[in-house]
Structures are given as structure tokens and as C-alpha cells.
């Protein structure tokens, strides 16, 4: 299934690495490629993306923590809460099955996309102010 | 570098509760937890870039746990994923440096259009 040297595969990998490391949802890109172009089923694509993101996140984390951009005392308690959520989520994915999961994933993409498009103004101003 | 604002306890509690949902999305959809984590972190007092960086610190352990569960359930194997890793690591290095260099609003707009288009295509697949 995986062909080394496929141009699209490299594009999808690099793009989702970039977007993932910036913290704006690289996962979408790889899963989209895997399901729409590589013919992988939804739940396997999700699993691939999870494994894929681990080394990407380690690299990004090293770079970000050198720049003191990470607020650990906020992250640590949220990790605990998040782990509880993961257990429930992964179990639900198992129950729901790939077809329905694909629909939920598409709806989630559309929702996030629309939010990014239309709820951005204030935050853009925020970036300008805080980065000066 | 920008300092951390004084954080309102109630908003922090909201972020802690919200983190369960972040984990849920990560486990259910194998992606997208960070999308939720960034606004939560900002509500709890993080600046924009801190929120993006901190979201990765949050998502990494969640990914590790999710991936472990997927592996145990036989939904994926290491060999399924290994072909994508070289490209991903190259991208991650570029992306992590870009975060502190560029104003990312144009990237977000393109990304938003891209995922809406993909979402629609995936729905009708």
C-alpha cells in the first residue's frame, strides 16, 4: 500500500508535518490524502496519522521549548484530562466503524474550516499586537 | 518573549474540562485535537504562539496513548505509517521554525478552504 517515492505522498507528508508543527491541525492533511487518494480506510488512516504525528511532535516540541513557548503548568493538567478523553474516543471509534467515522470526520473538517475562515478577525489583530 | 498573563482560575478550570474533549476527538478521529486545544489554551491565558506551541505539548502524549490503543486493537501497524515519516519530519522542522517567523493568517485561510473542500469530498465519497 505504501510506495516510497510517490510525489503526492511526500507532498502530503511534508505539508502535514509543517501544519502539524505549527499547531494548526496537520492531521487533517494526511488523513485526507490517505482516504481520498491512497484508498486507505478511515480508521487505519487515523491510526497512521497518530503514529506519524509522534516524531513530528517531538521535533516541534524541542524547537518550541527552546524558544520558551510552552506553558507546562497549563499543559500538564490538560494532558491528564486529555488521556481520559482518548480512552473514551478510541473506544467509540472502534464501536462506530469506518463508514460512519468518515462522515463524522468530514463534518468535523467542514466545521473547523468554516470556523477558521469566519472567526479569525479578532485573533489576527491579537497576533499583530502581541508580536510587536 | 511575551510573558504569561495572570490566569483566571475559572477559565483554567474550563480548559481542564475541555481537555477531556480534546482527548476524545484525538482518540475518535485520530486528529484535530489541537484545533480545540489552541482556543482553550488561549482562554486560559496563553498568547497566540504560546497556545500553538503548548497545544503540541498536550497533543503528543495523547497521540502516544491513542496510537497505542489503535495498535492494540489492530487498526494500524507500524509498517503502515513508516513510509510517511521522512517527509513528515522534514515538514515538522520547517513548520516549527515558521511558527515564530511568519504571520500565519494567510496560511490559515488557505488551510481552511482546503479542509472544507476535502470535507465535502469525503462526505460524498
Complex-level ipTM: 0.82
Q: Please report, for residues A77, A92, B1, B62, B115, the alpha-carbon distance to residue A84 in angstroms, rounded to integers and kept in the order given.
A: 12, 13, 33, 9, 28
**What is the tens place of the pLDDT at every residue in B32-85?**
888 888 889 988 989 888 998 999 999 999 999 999 999 999 999 999 999 888
Q: Would you place residue B6 in the very low, low, confident or very high pLDDT band (cuts 50, 70, 90)?
A: low
| pLDDT for res B8 | 66
Cα–Cα distance for residue pair B105/B115, rounded to 1 Å? 15
DSSP-assigned states of every residue in A79-119: HHHHHHHHHHHHHHHHHH-HHHHHHHHHHHHHHHHHHHHHS
What b/e readout covers A118-129, taking b as 16+ CB neighbours within 10 angstroms?
Answer: eeeeebbeebee
Q: Which residues of chain A does B94 touch, with a Cβ-Cβ cutoff of 8 Å?
A: 14, 17-18, 21
Q: Which residues contact B82 (CB under 8 A, 6 or more apart)?
A: A2
| pLDDT for res A87 | 96
How many Cβ atoms sit within 10 Å of the Cβ of residue B79? Answer: 9
If one compares B73 and A116, the residue with the highest pLDDT of the two is B73
| pLDDT for res B48 | 82
**What is the tens place of the pLDDT at every residue in A15-38?**
888 888 776 666 788 888 899 888
Cα–Cα distance for residue pair A129/B72, rounded to 1 Å? 46
Provide the angle, in degrees to the nearest 10, between the axes of the packed helices A72-96 and B9-29: 40
Do the Cβ atoms of A69 and B16 come within 8 Å?
no
If one compares A28 and B87, the residue with the highest pLDDT of the two is B87
Cβ pairs bridging A and B (under 8 Å): 412
Within an 8 Å CB–CB cutoff, is residue B69 touching chain A? yes
Interface of A with B in 90-129 (CB under 8 A): 90-94, 96, 101-110, 112-114, 116-117, 120, 123-124, 126-128
Mean per-residue pLDDT, A76-90: 95
| pLDDT for res A130 | 45
Q: In this structure, what DSSP letter does residue B45 have?
A: T
Amino acid at each position: 500500500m505504501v510506495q516510497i517515492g510517490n510525489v503526492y505522498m511526500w507532498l502530503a507528508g511534508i505539508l502535514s508535518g509543517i501544519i502539524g508543527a505549527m499547531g494548526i491541525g496537520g492531521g487533517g492533511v494526511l488523513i485526507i490524502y490517505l482516504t481520498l487518494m491512497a484508498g486507505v480506510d478511515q480508521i487505519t488512516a487515523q491510526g497512521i496519522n497518530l503514529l506519524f504525528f509522534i516524531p513530528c511532535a517531538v521535533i516541534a516540541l524541542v524547537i518550541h521549548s527552546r524558544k520558551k513557548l510552552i506553558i507546562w503548568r497549563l499543559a500538564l493538567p490538560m494532558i491528564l484530562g486529555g488521556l481520559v478523553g482518548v480512552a473514551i474516543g478510541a473506544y467509540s471509534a472502534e464501536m462506530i466503524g469506518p463508514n460512519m467515522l468518515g462522515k463524522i470526520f468530514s463534518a468535523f473538517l467542514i466545521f473547523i474550516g468554516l470556523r477558521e475562515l469566519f472567526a479569525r478577525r479578532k485573533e489576527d489583530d491579537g497576533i499583530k499586537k502581541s508580536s510587536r | 518573549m511575551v510573558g504569561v498573563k495572570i490566569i483566571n482560575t475559572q477559565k483554567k478550570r474550563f480548559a481542564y474540562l475541555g481537555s477531556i474533549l480534546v482527548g476524545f476527538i484525538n482518540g475518535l478521529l485520530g486528529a484535530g485535537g489541537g484545533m480545540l486545544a489552541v482556543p482553550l489554551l488561549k482562554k486560559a491565558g496563553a498568547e497566540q504562539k504560546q497556545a500553538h506551541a503548548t497545544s503540541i505539548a498536550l497533543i503528543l502524549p495523547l497521540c502516544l496513548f491513542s496510537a497505542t490503543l489503535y495498535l492494540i486493537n489492530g487498526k494500524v501497524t507500524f509498517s503502515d505509517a513508516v513510509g510517511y515519516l521522512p517527509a513528515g519530519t522534514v515538514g515538522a522542522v520547517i513548520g516549527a521554525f515558521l511558527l515564530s517567523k511568519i504571520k500565519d493568517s494567510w496560511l490559515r485561510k488557505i488551510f481552511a478552504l482546503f479542509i472544507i473542500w476535502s470535507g465535502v469530498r469525503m462526505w460524498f465519497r
